[in-house]
Chain A
Amino acid sequence: MNENGFTQFSTVTVLLLLAAFYGGTYLLTLLIRKDKEDTSGFMVAGHQVGFGMGAASMTATWIWAASFYAAATSGYTYGVSGPIHYGFWGALMILFIYPFGRRFRELAPNGHTLGELIHARHGASSQLILAGSNVLGSVISLMVNFTAAGALVSVLSPLSFETGVLVAGVGVLSYTLTSGFRASVFTDFAQLVALMAIAVVIIPAVLFSAGGPSVMVEGLSRMTDEQASLFSVDAIMNQGAPFFVAVLAYAIGNQTISQRLFAVREKNIKSTFVTATLGYGAIVIGLGMIGLMALSVGVEPINGEMNNLIPQMVSTYLSPFFVALFFVLVIGSLSSTADSDLSALSTIMMADVYGKNIAGDNPNPKVMMMIGRITMIVATVAGLIFASFSLDILVMLVFVGALWGAIVFPVIVSCYWDRVTNAAFTWSVVVAMAFFCIARFELVEMTGLTVLLFEILASAGGAVVIGMMVFGFFGRAAGLVAGVVTLIVMLVFATGFLRDYMVLVASLTAYGASALVCTVMTLLSKEERFDFDLIEKRVGSYDDVEADEAVDMIPEGAK
């Protein structure tokens, strides 16, 4: 133990653990390495990922280091219901996207990114909005994961924060660079097996070492009424509701998810995403329970830093062997997400930027592969630099989250409604972002009719969120009914009340404003209706271009 109460490993021990993890992962990728990778394999594993690998990869990708820490923080802050209000809504992000994912695959069976589909549907401006938001999200994610590695290494060993960041960056890049997405999925499986096995052992171990359920029950008396309740309004409004609002936005805005929607065999999409939902929820809520246990036994986070809770509990109650397991768990979770971000970024640059906007009529698969690998290197270096600066990413996260919220309605409705235009898509996002900024940063005085207007827009946003979710599973009529009912309920009960939660109002406003502008502009448009069959013709495989030199055989999407 060091003076802060953490188990302290020697430099050699930590370097050996890191070498075993990254060395082992690298050796695994040698099993699947091909002499000549093709673009389809590098970007989406040839659209042939099976159920088991797909579910493992989706789960591992969606669990990042922050998942554990934030779930534990939620358990510590909000008590009994806290871990659920983090893990449950995060899990639903995976579940609610799969009905739309099946539609994406139906429209673009040979697609690699959602941006390609939107390019085929609308053109460059809409596509680049989507691709840009994907790039921002993945770079932030890379930075956060490398930062988590640096923090963990510096807390549990004499090594510096920068050393941890550097080892994680180089380690992840080394095993992802050659085979791209195939390597990411294959190593995700191994990493998830380790991660799940460790979680299964650590959660009961901490519970019983801390005194077992009886001590936890005694700890209920230390909690406030809100913390002791499974139906805490405090937890719902401050943790659950903002997450609920983000359910569709994070799924649509994240290329790591859409990449897997395009990679899993079409018949396995539902089983893959339902299993990943259960896996994510179980692991994250389970580890979040360690935060609840800390609250129950009266542990105070060291230096008031909530991210110390889990390492502190593991160090306090378990032997160094378990702390080493925990170390592997965190490194595995952050690495699986980081390699997925590298694959996502390389695919966006290969397909969305080069394939659709630079190559013109003649995309060259060899150039695409080179662009993909250079992107991985540049992204890793950028992630390392940003992580080393320990930047405050809150503002960036706020903007990216809002952008994702603003694109949910235009993206989804563009895949079902043949009248939506490129202008409607683009302007809806621009206007929504403007309204979001006004509400989020209160650029005008939020009183009287002004705040009422934003509450009405936020109510429309709530209706969009609920309506879209119901629409995904039960179809248009049910979605419309759910949306209208939600709108009425929110207009009655939320106006005059939501203004106390301006962050929530701003997020919902992004949904509501984009939906209104997109719908009105579409209805006013006199453009010809879109033929959805064109998308399949326009989104093709880039490898076919090289295989067949006849110009008239080039897929339209590659032209």
Chain B
Amino acid sequence: MTNELVYGAYILVWPALTLGVLAVICGAVVRDARACRKSDEDLI
């Protein structure tokens, strides 16, 4: 049972980390987009 948990975690930690990075990147882009709209600048 312990082995299953460890092995499962070893495989599933990567998509979890991917999800975390995705959230950080999307959050940052939304903040940048808002700031650009306020200052009337292009996002890119």
Give the B-binding residues of A (Cβ under 8 A): 32, 45, 49-53, 55-56, 59, 80, 182, 185-186, 189, 192-193, 196-197, 199-200, 203-204, 207, 212-214, 216-217, 220, 275, 278-279, 281-283, 285-286, 289, 292-293
Pair B18/A186 contact, Cβ less than 8 Å:
no
Q: Using Cβ atoms and an 8 Å threshold, which residues of chain A touch B21?
A: 55, 59, 196, 275, 278-279, 282
Cross-chain contact B18 with A200 (CB below 8 angstroms): yes
Residues of B within 8 A of A189 (CB): 25, 29
Residue of A nearest to B23 (CB): A196
Q: Contacting A53 at CB < 8 Å: which of B3, B7, B12, B44?
A: B44
Closest to B31 in A: A52
Given the interface contacts A50-B32, A51-B28, does A213 sit within 8 Å of B7 by beta carbon? yes
Chain B residues near A80: list those with CB within 8 A.
Answer: 10
Sampled A-B contacts (25; CB under 8 Å): A32-B42, A32-B43, A50-B43, A51-B32, A52-B26, A52-B32, A53-B29, A55-B24, A55-B25, A59-B25, A193-B22, A199-B15, A200-B18, A203-B14, A207-B8, A216-B7, A217-B7, A275-B25, A279-B22, A279-B25, A282-B15, A282-B18, A282-B20, A285-B14, A286-B14
In the complex, whether B4 has a CB less than 8 A from a CB of chain A is: yes
Q: Does A50 contact B29, Cβ atoms closer than 8 Å? A: yes
Please give, as numbers and ranges, the residues of chain B lying within 8 Å of A53 by CB-CB distance. Answer: 29, 32, 43-44
Assembled-state Cα–Cα distance A286/B19 (Å): 11
B3, B4, B5, B21 pick with most chain A CB within 10 angstroms: B21
A52 adjacent to B27 (CB under 8 Å):
yes
Docked pose: A469 CA to B34 CA in angstroms: 37
- Residues on A with C-beta less than 8 A from B26 are 52, 193
B interface residues (Cβ-Cβ under 8 A, vs A): 3-5, 7-8, 10-12, 14-15, 17-22, 24-32, 42-44
15 more CB-based (< 8 A) A-B contacts, given A197-B22, A212-B8, A216-B7: A45-B44, A52-B24, A53-B43, A55-B24, A55-B25, A186-B43, A193-B22, A200-B18, A204-B12, A207-B12, A212-B4, A278-B21, A279-B25, A282-B15, A283-B18
Identify which of A49, A197, A282 gathers the most chain B CB atoms within 10 Å of its CB: A282
In angstroms, Cα B11 to Cα A219, docked, is: 14
Residues of B contacting A197 in the complex (Cβ-Cβ under 8 angstroms): 22
Which residue of A32, A59, A200, A220 contacts B15 across the interface (Cβ within 8 Å)? A200
**Interfacial chain B residues near A185, Cβ < 8 Å:** 44
- With A212-B8, A213-B5, A213-B8 known as contacts, the answer to whether A52 contacts B25 (CB < 8 A) is yes
Q: Is the CB of B24 within 8 A of A289?
A: no
> Nearest Cβ distance between residue B23 and chain A, in whole angstroms?
10
Q: Quick one: given A50-B29, A213-B4, A275-B21, are A182 and B44 in contact (CB under 8 Å)?
A: yes
Contact call A217/B4, Cβ cutoff below 8 A: yes
Please indicate the chain A residues that have their CB under 8 angstroms from the CB of B43 in the complex.
32, 50, 53, 186
Q: Chain A's nearest CB lies how many Å from the CB of B31?
A: 7
Main secondary structure of the interface of A (DSSP, over half): helix
A45-B44, A49-B44, A275-B25 are contacts. A204–B15 as well, Cβ < 8 Å? yes
9 smallest beta-carbon distances between A and B, as pairs: A52-B28, A286-B14, A213-B8, A52-B29, A282-B17, A50-B32, A279-B21, A282-B18, A213-B4
Cα A285 to Cα B14 with chains together (Å): 7
Which chain A positions have C-beta within 8 A of B10?
80
CA distance A200 to B18 in the complex (A): 7
Pairwise interchain contact A199-B7, C-beta atoms closer than 8 A: no
Closest residue of chain B to A205 (Cβ to Cβ) is B15
The minimal Cβ–Cβ distance linking B43 to chain A, given in whole angstroms, is 7
- Interchain nearest-CB distance for B4 vs A (Å): 4
Minimum CB–CB distance for A557 against chain B, Å: 25
Distance between Cα atoms of A216 and B31 in the complex (Å): 41
In Å, the complex CA distance between A193 and B14 comes to 16
- Nearest chain A residue, comparing its CB with the CB of B42: A32
Scoring B14, B26, B43 by chain A CB atoms within 10 A of each residue's CB, the highest score goes to B14
- In angstroms, Cα B18 to Cα A283, docked, is 6
A residues in contact with B29, CB < 8 Å? 50, 52-53, 56, 189
Residues of A within 8 A of B4 (CB): 212-214, 216-217
Contact between chains at B3 and A217 (CB < 8 Å) = yes
Interchain nearest-CB distance for A165 vs B (Å): 29
The closest CB in chain B to the CB of A45 belongs to: B44
Residue from B5, B15, B18, B25 in contact with A56 in the complex, judged by beta carbons closer than 8 Å: B25
Which residue on chain A has the smallest CB distance to residue B3? A217
Please indicate the chain A residues that have their CB under 8 angstroms from the CB of B15 in the complex: 199-200, 203-204, 282, 286
- Residues from chain B with Cβ under 8 Å of A186 in the complex: 43-44
Give, as a whole number of angstroms, the nearest-CB distance from B27 to chain A. 7
Most buried by B among A52, A204, A292: A52
Interface centre among B8, B18, B28, B29 (most CB of A within 10 A): B18
A212 and B27 alpha carbons, distance in the complex (Å): 32
- B17 smallest CB distance to A (angstroms): 4
- A285 to chain B minimum Cβ distance, whole angstroms, is 5
